[in-house]
A and B are shown apart, each in its own frame.
Chain A
């Protein structure tokens, strides 16, 4: 869409201010409406917190078969990348009673699965246009359906996860489109979609523009009273007729407004009382928790946050890297869960993972793995039907019925649309037209979504 839309949003912002002050001055105008708009109770609030695992998460080592046969098969193929069975953190699929083991670094959040039931796992989810059928021999018939464009390519698969249009070419993301439908009038001070991790296609809507919030150093150094600040602000409104100048003007203008809103809201807030580890993902989730804490000051009712953790492209030397990656992720998730508990919004906030793709089940010669397709995802929150394994765990056989090639690159059994669709429905999306708008391919899956939430 155009900048017209962006302006519309700002016009709405201004209208919001004006309405507020008018109402404040004229008591006759029923304060009740204002109260409803401003003072949100927890039950009015919902937030989705995406953690994108950049590089392609080797979920084959995140969730491992823990029964004797299953583990043996795993160990045989994974060879030097196999985790010792004794190290696994045992969990169960209560439906099938199958035993699985989480990577030991997930120990901090294993209780969320096993006892608190706020953590679920969705198996073998990935980009799909349609389900890939199996032939009479049980093998996948890849050429019988349209496949996601440029499978195994980081950039393409990241984009497809974020725009939920694996046919390619979409310039908006599912979070942005979801906000278009559900959160366009949530909050007046900051956009509903906020990235803590730079620009993300996922947050771009047709009508909804995201913003980015830093974990620190968020704001202008120059005093607002500096005449240079005034000149700069005025320059942001000059009409140049040059597209890129307009784009840069818009970026800084939005930044100044959002920073002011966020800093003002955060300045008056109390300390969270939960310690997040000083890791990249830890500081990002701490910032999300802080923003959720001040949601009322920001006037937000529906928010979608985007965080990320990089380093998952483990082509070599994978095992120690995974320990670091998963430890940091688990610690951050555990702290975040605790923070949501303190804020009494555990049931209002759902965190979940995405990743480019899974990785080859067969190792390469560098103690690493190469690009795959489907992988497992984690979903955490009070609204989650935790303690369950959802989806279909792949058959861990090279060139087997779930292998798209020869090295164990799993054909996704659950589409990303179904996975995110479940979250979107919880967020409030229900009308079929809205579902089609956000997830153009969901009808290919009969609008069926897993029951993890």
Chain B
């Protein structure tokens, strides 16, 4: 309903008065009538015109300053009016006419009207009725009316000239018509006051309005301004032309001679335009649509979605104002049609297609929390899920069941993720495929038989770096069962050489492959440790065939006994070539040669005895403040004689002779003619006397047995194995305990390895060791669960870091067991630091950076997706790194620095790269303790 302007109507009433009356002299009343109709009857609250002479000295309308709050003025320029003894509000004064509002009065009949001014007063009478219906008019002809649709005046076109637009009324349309005297309203509106809110007629049903004699539907009638009633009617079907309008109420009709101009206008067909068209929105989203109608003054439309008025839950709903809300679930059609139908002309309509997409999924929570690794059923709760949504758990898609928009169920095998923290996210299918922001969910074993940190520590000693699954296995099995399984694990296979001239590059690659992907982790670690005691190196053995047999032997015998290993390695052709025992002939006076001392010397010095006598804890025995030699140069010469008479095994298909051509796939064989059969005396602490006349084989057996009965062997080997597997600087007591196990088991390596791993000093956090470059590389890749299909690039990486696989610099291996870090007090024994210098320190950091960038090589894929998902929240990323690289024991200062690094960029990939780089390159990670 539109409210007409009060001032505008008043102007019309004044105009009417001006047309009809002239001014007079002394105050005298000549008539009192309905202001709108001129009828003599007036009604309570209606506008009244008082005619006479000398009614006022001045002529004006009320103005704003005449009002007092909500009260209309009752005196203008000294002119006041009383009707039936009650003050009337005055809107206009002139000498000949006053316009006043009849006061609220229930009196019916003749009432006095008194006009007073400075010249005196005059009295007249008026007829007061309950109803005095009258239309305000334009020029006393057309009812004062507006088109409901646009507020334009209802009058013949051009009726007001350029002052205002006007059009005749069209049958069917709604008009607002202004009248007075329609009687009481509910609530009642007091005369003389502004109207707070419109008040409908108390007896609306009694009001009848006819236009052209045809009853018009009254939609509304009530007071909207002081003394002014608005009547909304629908124009009935009428012929063109001025049609009289009459309102009747309480048996009283409005004045005759008031018209509504009618024009049955037939123009272009009504059209509807609907915008926007072709939009795509997600389920649950809204789209405001606008229907524009042409060729009608009636803008109303009916909204349909897929033909249903107002739509439905299945296809989406649309409001009366055209706001379309897509359904929660994607309909099978993937699109809906929204139609707007003109109310003015139901034949006029327009449609648009709204394409629908699946909603944006949001994950709120995951149950259970934590998730157990293994077979799991995971309930994901959130919003915006769709039929076909897939749950991703730490980057792996799980078979997913759509339960509802707010719940999914995923079932499958859950692997322990890197960092024990899984990013869980949901991907909705097309159309509009989208993935939720991930949330972090910890993954934990329900029962941990070994605490996490302890398990990681143990695996750092026993594997090439723990993978997440290694830790799960150990925590599940317990240490003893895990060790038993590892001892039973057969050796990984090593490839065969392609030719007798192939170099070691492919074997080095195989080394990393076995290390990273092999299941015989402890065997290969033990083999690697033993190979750093009984060293053969590609620094001399540059051919594949010269090193592969050695690798097989060391791994195959790693869980046997030390004496057996020493005997086997002594006759191994790789070692034979490396330390020149092969083709070592006895002294030849004619040729002026002596027995080759190389293997004799180095095997005694490095493989089991050492240069000085040790006590049972590996501490050098002192005599007079000096160490005591284990043997002397003469003993080396004697042992060199023992080691004579061996050549390569026979190449299949060739006769065996001194010397055989190189053959690396069978032990060396003896040729007695080249064996020194003289008696040998080796003055070890337990002296060995090998009588003359022995064979190459018997002499060698005697010598091996002799070496192995020396008390140095147990602490010598134990100390080195502890250094390789556990820590750099074991206490003598620790060495002593392991050496005792060595001694009592006669060098059973399973016993020794078990003893050194389960010793209290191995179990507790200690001084630790620097991860040697190869283990640093494999450890980092395995901790990150890298997929390594071709590790060839690691050879050069490890070389830059100071440790080329299979290639110690000499028989003295990569590091001295006694190397101390310079310029620290006390100088810590730390063999691995022998390969730590400016160049290699930079190389280690650079390796970490390449790994963190997944840039080592195409054969080494570091899947950073889960970490990148976690990086959405930097503290989750850092916690994952804590678990993955720091056993969950990350120092608070390290955590703070990594969190800063993880927060610096908005790019998730950058966050992971930066934080992982700093973590992996940090000394706090590199030192295992």
Chain A residues in contact with chain B, CB under 8 A?
A: 1-3, 5-6, 54-55, 76-80, 150-156, 171-172, 195, 198-199, 204, 206, 209, 211-214, 217-222, 226-232, 234-236, 238, 240, 242-249, 251-252, 254-256, 258-259, 310-311, 313, 315-316, 360, 362-366, 368, 370-371, 405, 407
Contacts and interface: CB of A to CB of B under 8 A. Distances in A.
16 contacts: A78-B592, A156-B611, A198-B802, A198-B835, A214-B839, A228-B917, A231-B918, A232-B921, A242-B929, A244-B728, A251-B837, A255-B838, A363-B591, A363-B594, A364-B595, A364-B596
Contacts of B924: 235, 238, 240, 245
B816 interface: yes
Closest 10 CB pairs of A and B: A228-B914, A248-B923, A227-B904, A212-B837, A255-B838, A231-B918, A365-B585, A228-B917, A231-B901, A214-B839
Identify which of A154, A229, A368, A370 gathers the most chain B CB atoms within 10 Å of its CB: A370
Contacts of B898: 231
B845 A252 contact: yes
A226 B845 CA distance: 13
A204 B915 contact: no
B345 interface: no
A254 B828 CA distance: 19
A211 B837 contact: yes
Most chain B beta-carbon neighbours within 10 Å: one of A54, A234, A405:
A234
B594 A362 contact: yes
Nearest to B842: A255
B825 interface: yes
B92 to A, nearest CB: 82
Interface stretch (B367-375, B521-529, B576-584): B576-584
B644 to A, nearest CB: 8
Interface in B795-835: 800, 802, 809-810, 812, 816, 820-825, 827-828, 830, 833-835
A227 B901 contact: yes
Contact of B823 (A2, A256, A366): A2
A221 B840 CA distance: 13
B839 A212 contact: yes
Nearest to A405: B633
B800 A368 contact: no
Contacts of A171: 820, 822, 827
B927 A365 contact: no
B838 A251 contact: yes
B353 to A, nearest CB: 48
Interface stretch (B45-53, B187-195, B509-517, B764-772): B764-772
Interface stretch (B455-463, B485-493, B846-854): B846-854
Nearest to A238: B893
Size bracket, chain B contacts: 35 or more
Interface string B901-929: 11011000010011111100111101101
A277 B835 CA distance: 26
A249 B893 CA distance: 15
A243 B824 contact: yes
A63 to B, nearest CB: 20
Given A171-B820, A227-B900, A238 B592 contact: no
B609 to A, nearest CB: 12
A243 B828 CA distance: 8
A407 B601 CA distance: 15
Given A231-B897, A240-B923, A245-B923, 14 more contacts: A209-B822, A219-B842, A221-B850, A231-B901, A232-B922, A242-B768, A243-B824, A247-B824, A254-B838, A362-B594, A363-B594, A364-B580, A365-B595, A368-B598
Given A234-B897, A242-B768, A252-B842, A365 B914 contact: no
Given A240-B891, A315-B579, A363-B592, A211 B838 contact: yes
B611 A150 contact: yes
A296 to B, nearest CB: 21
Contacts of B824: 2-3, 243, 246-247
A195 B837 contact: yes
Contacts of B595: 364-365
B822 A364 contact: no
B841 interface: yes
Contacts of A156: 611
Nearest to B844: A252
B836 interface: yes
A204 B910 CA distance: 40
B396 to A, nearest CB: 27
Given A220-B846, A231-B898, A235-B923, A371 B601 contact: yes
A245 B927 contact: yes
B588 interface: yes
Interface string B590-613: 011111111001000100000100
Contact of B812 (A155, A230, A231, A258): A155
A317 to B, nearest CB: 9
B593 A363 contact: yes
